[in-house]
Amino acid sequence: MTVPGARRAQPGQGTTIGRIPVIKPSPVVENGAFPAKAAIDELFSIEATVFREGHDAVGAQVVLTDPDGASSVRPMRPVPPAGFDRWGARVGLDRLGSWRFRIEAYDDPFETWLHNAKIKIPAGIDVELMCAEGRELFEEAAGIARAAGDAAAVELLSSAARFLGVAVQVEDRLARARTDDVLAAMAVHKPRRLLTTTPEYPIFCDRRRALFSSWYEFFPRSIGAHRSASGHWVSGTFATAQERLEAAARMGFDVVYLPPIHPIGYSYRKGRNNTLQPGPEDPGSPWAIGNADGGHDAIHPELGTFDDFDEFVRTARSLGLEVAMDFALQASPDHPWVQDHPEWFSKRIDGSIAYAENPPKKYQDIYPINFDQDQDGIYAECLRLINLWVDHGVTIFRVDNPHTKPVDFWAWLLAEVRRTNPEVIFLAEAFTRPEMMHTLGKIGFHQSYSYFTWRNEKWEIIEYLTELSTQTDGFLRPNFFVNTPDILPTFLQSGSPTAFTIRAVLAATLSSNWGVYSGFELYEHTPLRHGSEEYLNSEKYEYRPRDFAGAEERGESLALLLGRLNELRREHPALQQVRDLHFHTTPHDQVLAYSKRVGDDLIIVVCSLDPHQVAETEVFLDMSALGFDDHDVLEVHDQLSGRRWRWGQRNYVRLTLEDPAHILTVTPPSAVTPSATRPDTSTAKPSGSGAS
């Protein structure tokens, strides 16, 4: 119950300690300057440190305010480990939009009385005095319930007050005051004194797709591309690319991401493998946007028309897919902006427009935009472009290199789009310094590329995922791409199917958002040169039609595993979030074990990190973290192989090159057959995995 008229500070004001100190509230981003992230039906914790002088009890509660201004109260409870005065409430938001929360802490005289009564009354100390104090508290609570119109609670609380004064055994009087229904009524209506309240802090609740998505990236121009009878390349189109939509849907993906689909510049066009000498049929990099056919508001003529694109989007939606579009704010030298708005670009001292550079690399085919010149014009044009593509059914944008543009620009643009189209999602493609990545998340990007691509060792995966799940979870949602057109991770360059399986399992189960660039399922693994992370014959610079169907028929495709991973992700809420992640102990430095849980849905993953060797080890489960006792016996079912075992606290696993991972669902102890009185050791042998 909120006490009317309680004073509270505002975010950003000088902080003063209230009568009951409330510090370190979370999730709070930059002292409330930006909203924390949540998604519809996502469960997360609101916490604060609450304490007071002396030994009297304190209590705390969260007051949530929805987008319409209606408030509700959620009780907070002590958060383990004990002794750190941390309080928390598990909450979930059910509506898209701007929410607020504040934390109220208070002196809790009833809990103080109850604690003292449980000690003093059995010891015969101050018995009648304790009963008198209890009667007063129950009568006060009954008055609060009466004011709230809760007649049932009034009766329960008044009856408990009366019973504390009758001439019966004092232990019976105390027992009557501690029945479940009385305590429940008291929890709602008990006196709350010395109320202290925090400022209100913002949370924005996004639609579910911002939290949980599976991305598949492909180049439409490559799907259906072929050589004509005369030997010339013919580009794929939106019509031919629809076959890849169907394949993405079969593999269980729900987002298809397209690199830029705009006209491509001719000046300084790059040839195969990023050379400076293009052939007459080299299509150029899609990121060199713009020519005489138009710029960011146009479609490459070889792909089709706007009507063709609209049909592509409709087909995707009919298959349960959303289309994500690349938003790359840069221009080729042939872009209409260069002629119409030369002031939008930086000039060198010789008067030429500066092209993009990352010395020693030069990108003569791309002009960066200078956002400090004609800010009003540039801002308005960028918003116009977003609205144009939203009108054509695009609801997700993958933003290219946002860390090379001003952060305040993104803060403005994302706020403007959120104001009119809060369903639109932005993914920040920023592999850069941590503070920039964090700030992009704070100012509004819904998802972010991550360092997962380069985290291969056990210790660094644990360290990084602990950061993502407990430290940055309020403002940064990672999207674990296993590869991109720019990045062929060293881990995959052996071409071992085991390596591809390992990275897919880790990405799909550690993060609620993950992505695959086409070719991954075909084990494409050849680098441009030794030590490079670039693909040989990169699709960025040439057509790359692939024989997906033939590879599946020959058993040379990972498509079935990708489909199974996405199926498990849809079936299990535990895999649809990042926050509730716990690592378990394995002595082997190349075996990772972790669990994720939401409510009754519990998933345990055990995965090898070595694509070249069989790994045998024990797995020591933290049973308390799983919600079980140390001696409980669980039945686990591997959702990849179909095998079942009985596991306890200590278990044996053998991970092979054919089966390098277990994704286990758990049958709790109460449901395990009576014969399972102890872990089954019969499977603890080289032919499989089991408990020992």
Q: What is 617-676 written as a DSSP string?
A: EEEE--HHHHT--TT--EEEEETTT--EEEE-SEEEEEE-SS--EEEEEEE-GGGS-TT-
Contact 664, 568 (CB under 8 A): no
At 98, list the tokens.
């701007």
DSSP 8-state secondary structure symbol assigned to residue 353: B
Please give the single-letter amino acid code of residue 263. P
* DSSP-H helix ranges across 148-191: 151-163, 170-177, 180-189
Instruction: Specify whether 107 is catalytic.
Output: no
CA distance 532 to 432: 18
- The per-residue pLDDT for 171 is 87
Contacts of 595 (CB under 8 A, 6+ apart): 581, 582, 584, 602, 603, 604, 605, 621, 625, 626
SS3 of residue 374 by DSSP: coil
Contact 214, 567 (CB under 8 A): no
Strand pairing category for 396-400 and 322-327: parallel
**pLDDT single digits (tens) 324-345:** 999 999 999 999 999 999 999 9
Region of 287 on the Ramachandran plot (φ > 0 left; ψ -120 to 50 alpha; else beta): alpha
Whether 680 shows a pLDDT value over 70: the answer reads no
Q: How far is Cα of residue 470 from the mean position of the Cα atoms in its chain?
A: 12
- The per-residue pLDDT for 679 is 40
Place of tokens 């949602």: 477
Handedness of CA 511, 516, 520, 521 (dihedral sign): positive
- The per-residue pLDDT for 672 is 66
Alpha-carbon distance values, 421 to 142, 395, 399, 400, 504 (Å): 47, 9, 17, 21, 33
Q: How far is Cα of residue 568 from the mean position of the Cα atoms in its chain?
A: 17
- The predicted model gives 220-238 an average pLDDT of 97
- The predicted model gives 227-242 an average pLDDT of 97
- The per-residue pLDDT for 681 is 38
| Choice between 288 and 676, residue whose per-residue pLDDT is larger | 288
To the nearest 10 degrees (0 to 180), the angle between helices 497-510 and 559-571 is 20
Whether 78 shows a pLDDT value over 70: the answer reads yes
Strand pairing category for 226-227 and 213-217: unpaired
CA distance 493 to 487: 11
Handedness of CA 642, 648, 649, 652 (dihedral sign): negative
Query: Quick one: pLDDT band at residue 655, thresholds 50, 70, 90?
Result: very high
Catalytic, out of 107, 108, 217, 400: 400
CA distance 368 to 466: 36
Whether 12 shows a pLDDT value over 90: the answer reads no
Contact 464, 457 (CB under 8 A): no
CA distance 151 to 31: 41
Percent of the chain topping pLDDT 90: 90
- The predicted model gives 383-401 an average pLDDT of 98
CA distance 610 to 591: 8
**pLDDT single digits (tens) 241-267:** 999 999 999 999 999 999 999 999 999
- The predicted model gives 621-627 an average pLDDT of 96
Helices (H) and strands (E) in the chain, counts: 17, 33
Whether 281 shows a pLDDT value over 80: the answer reads yes
Instruction: Specify whether 282 is catalytic.
Output: no
Query: Quick one: pLDDT band at residue 431, thresholds 50, 70, 90?
Result: very high
Catalytic, out of 326, 429, 542, 638: 429
Whether 616 shows a pLDDT value over 70: the answer reads yes
Please give the single-letter amino acid code of residue 70. A
Whether 11 shows a pLDDT value over 60: the answer reads no
Q: What is 561-630 written as a DSSP string?
A: HHHHHHHHHHH-GGGG-SSSEEEEB-SSTTEEEEEEEETTEEEEEEEES-SSS-EEEEEE--HHHHT--T
| Cβ neighbours, 10 Å, residue 30 | 12
State in Å, rounded, how far the first CA of the chain is from the last one. Answer: 51
Query: Quick one: pLDDT band at residue 482, thresholds 50, 70, 90?
Result: very high
Whether 360 shows a pLDDT value over 90: the answer reads no
CA distance 100 to 475: 15
- The per-residue pLDDT for 674 is 54
| Choice between 465 and 82, residue whose per-residue pLDDT is larger | 465
Q: What angle do CA 673, 674, 675 make, to 5 degrees?
A: 90
- The per-residue pLDDT for 193 is 96
**pLDDT single digits (tens) 84-141:** 999 999 999 999 999 999 999 999 999 999 999 999 989 999 999 999 999 999 999 9
Whether 685 shows a pLDDT value over 70: the answer reads no
**Which segment of 56-70, 343-357, 589-603, 668-682 scores lowest on mean pLDDT?**
668-682
Contacts of 459 (CB under 8 A, 6+ apart): none
Query: Quick one: pLDDT band at residue 591, thresholds 50, 70, 90?
Result: very high
Whether 683 shows a pLDDT value over 50: the answer reads no
Give exposure, 646-675, as e/b (b: 16+ Cβ within 10 Å): bbbbebbbbbbbebbbbbbbbbebeebeee
The DSSP H or E segment spanning 234 is strand 233-234
Contact 362, 274 (CB under 8 A): no
Averaged pLDDT score across all residues of the chain? 94
Q: Across-strand partners of 73?
A: 63
Alpha-carbon distance values, 604 to 593, 635, 673 (Å): 7, 12, 20
Closest CA to 551 of 507, 610, 490, 500: 500
Contact 496, 488 (CB under 8 A): no
The DSSP H or E segment spanning 449 is strand 447-449
**pLDDT single digits (tens) 163-210:** 998 888 888 888 989 999 999 999 999 999 999 999 999 999 999 999
